Structure formats: C-alpha cells, structure tokens
Amino acid sequence: MNQETNAPSPTGAHTDVELQGRFLELADHIKSRLHGGEDFLAEFSAEKSDFVRFNQAKIRQAGRVTQRSISIELVDGSRHSSAGITLSGEPTTDRARVDAAIEELRGRLPHLQDDPHLLFSREVHDTEAHGRDETPDAGTALAQVLDAAAGREFVGIWASGGIYSGFANSFGQRNWFSSHTFNLDWSLYHRADKAVKCGYAGFSWDEAEYRRRLDAALVQLEVLAREPKTIAPGKYRVYLAPDALSEIVGMLSWGGLGLKSHRTKQTMLIKMVEEGWKLHPAVTLRENTKDGVAQNFQSLGFIKPDSVTIIEKGVYKDCLVSPRSAKEYGVPTNGANSYEGPESVEMDAGDIPEAEVAARLGTGVLINNLWYLNFSDRPSCRMTGMTRFATFWVENGKITAPLNVMRFDETIYRALGEKLVGLTQERSFILDASTYYQRSTGSWRLPGAMVDDFTFTL
C-alpha cells in the first residue's frame, strides 16, 4: 500500500472524477495488453483519509493517508490468476507496473488447473455513483470535539475522508463508487477497566448531536465513580445497546449467512434453515447495500441488489450467494462477496422509546458494550462473551451502580427470540472503525434490544 503521513498526495488524480478517469484509462490499457482468448477483471481501491489520535482531550498524532491499488485477474478459459498492484498515481509508472503484472500472470496460467467453480459476469452492467462529500473539515470538527471534552480523560481516534472503488472487465463493463464519511471512535476513561466507550459516525457532522452524546456519556462516567457492584450468576433482564447488539449480530456474519455455510451445514442458523426455528416477529435483518457505505458491485462484476432480506419478521428468508457458490450449487448469485458476509447490516426498529429504556428495564442490567464473543454451541447458535466498559445495574428504573465484568452464555433463539421484550424506536448508525489495508466500509444500522432472562454464568 502507498501510505503517506503528513505528506502531500501523490501526483495527479486528486478528486473523485479524476480518480475515476485514471482508473478507466488504466482499464483500457489492460485490455490493450490481452492476447487472444484472454479476459481480465480489475478491481480498483483508493482512499484519502485524515486520521487523528488523541488522549487527555489533546491531539497526540495527526496524519493523512492517500493510497490506491488495483487487483487484476487474468482469465484464460477456466484458468485464472490474480495480482495486486500498488499504484503511484503517475500514469507511465502505473502502466509499467500493470504490464509487468500481466506478463507474470500470463506465465502462471499454463501451470494451473481448470477451476470448476469459476463464475464471472459476462453481461455488461455499468454503474456510477459519486457520493456527496458533506464530511466536515477535520480541523473544525476536532476543535469542537476537544473543546467540549476539555479537562476529561478523553481518548480515541478520528477518521474522515473519501473511499473509492472501481471495477472493469474485458467485456467493457465499468463501475464506479465513492463514499465520504467521518468516524469518531472515543472513550471517556475513569480508571482500571472502567470507561464509557462511544462512537459517532456519519456523512455530515452535527456538533449538537456530538455534544448530546458526550453529555450522555458524562452522566454515565459519574456513575462509574461509584463503588462497583458484583451480581451473582443467573438470569436477568438486560438492555443491549446498539453497540452491544452489533457484536452479537456480527457473530452471525461469521460464516452464518452465506449459501456455502448453509449447504455444508456449518451455519449457526441451521435450525432456522432446516427445522423452521424462528426469532421474535420484531426481528427483520437485511443486507441494505443501498443505504450503506460499501460499493454495490463486487470483484467478479456482479451487481448487488439494493437489499437482501435474511430474516423477515423472525423467519429465515434468504442468504448471501457468492458467484463461486452459485456455480457450485447451481443457483443464481446475488452479488455477495467471496466470504458471503454482509457489509451493510440493518435491523428494523421496534417500539420502545430510547428515553424509556431505564424505566422499562425496571431492575436489571444495562449493557453498552460486549467483547471476546465466541460460540459455545454453534449448531444451537449459542454464544459466550464478556461485558465491557460501562455496564450498569439498574434498580427501579434508575442507574445505581457500575457492574464488574460478567460473562454471558446465551442463544440467539432466546435473546432475539422467545425472550426478546422489544427493540428501540431509534437506531444507531455504526461504522466499522477498522483500518486494515484501508478504512473499512462495513456498517450497521441497529436498534437497542431489551431481553428477559439473559444468562450470566460468571
């Protein structure tokens, strides 16, 4: 990857349209280098991001990352090989790198076996989506962030900017997608393992919304200063905030929502798929590509539908189907990625006002975050994990004390099924803060969930 910190952007292609133009020129160049019978698939990826790390409500590190790369798949019949190339932004240099990669791939093909599950789109479906850039100036937004947090043990990371994706193939298909977001991932730290972890992500910055979230966190921080409470193992009514629920829903994405896992019976939803088990009627889960921040095409040229409903009103409906699985099992693809995991997860809202959560909880546990999740019984969709950060004991509708860390062990069929009390009317937009290779475009749009008889084991 071509990463630069505190350095100017590479030569050329600074804007969305200019990046697209450079990619299209490179795609035409790749096509001109093909020999008879060869095809190509090319996937372009780029970002221009501002990153800032801070603690004690002060900036400790700031930088800008500008990078671009292209992955080329050379295909001859049913044989194929791929290579990833870092791009410099200088056309002559990039064409030379592409030429060298194609020659290397061409040399590999005679030594490879035919791939019986190779499937790529041969129908041309051009798309072009330029996301509106409403992200704030990082300097202005961060001044507001740190001014409001002054004097606090405020730690976290800010990331903002544009993410760009493109696809091209030898049949003439051209696709382009860009999105512009910000993500403020932060915590107010008290001591030891006691902190309030928060996030604020989106497309346009709203200082009032940030201050609302900060004020709510400060209220919880005051409670963290009280003597922590330890509760006995057992079953309790709990409220899972959207961030906590995202960890549970994220586990379903771990080899559970794709056709391959269903046909090989490795999905943790096997009882829903084969035995008709159901969740609560309030639960509708979908991959909502239209309203996410990830591109609507994938590396083999297939276009994703706007939405794929996975669970509808508690009943299993559909799964994500990659081209390879489609070829292997003889079904149509819905444009899923190779690992058949969702990138833009959405759950429908419920009818519990967020302002009434504590009152409706009555006496129980308010859980803001979970971590260390794993399956304790995969076929039964049973998970175990730990509470983390600001988890509170609520008594008679009032938050009274922080709770020491607890381990839970619970199934989806109980937590989002027979024991689900309800979901909140409000939903949170959660943007994956991962920055492996480049900023993630994974997202969740989730309500909070109130659950009866949630099982704590330690």
pLDDT for 14 equals: 59
CA 38 to chain CA centroid, nearest Å: 35
Mean predicted lDDT score pLDDT of the chain = 94
CA 244 to chain CA centroid, nearest Å: 14
pLDDT for 8 equals: 33
pLDDT band at 1 (very low <50, low <70, confident <90, very high): very low
Q: What is the mean pLDDT of residues 307-316?
A: 97
Distance CA 32, CA 9 (A): 29
pLDDT, tens digit, 9 for 90 and up, residues 318-365: 999 999 999 999 999 999 999 999 999 999 999 999 999 999 999 999
pLDDT, tens digit, 9 for 90 and up, residues 17-67: 999 999 999 999 999 999 999 999 999 999 999 999 999 999 999 999 999
Q: Which of 430, 437, 346 is nearest to 163 (CA)?
A: 437
Distance CA 311, CA 319 (A): 9
Residue type, position 270, single letter = I
* Residue ranges in 336-443 assigned as alpha helix (H): 357-361, 412-413
pLDDT band at 448 (very low <50, low <70, confident <90, very high): very high
pLDDT, tens digit, 9 for 90 and up, residues 239-256: 999 999 999 999 998 889
pLDDT, tens digit, 9 for 90 and up, residues 369-404: 999 999 999 999 999 999 989 999 999 999 999 999
Which uninterrupted H or E stretch holds 448?
strand 443-456
Domains and CATH numbers, the chain: 16-139+159-183 (3.30.2290.10), 226-278+345-456 (no CATH)
Residue 6 in this model has a pLDDT that exceeds 70: no
pLDDT for 437 equals: 86
Distance CA 51, CA 27 (A): 31
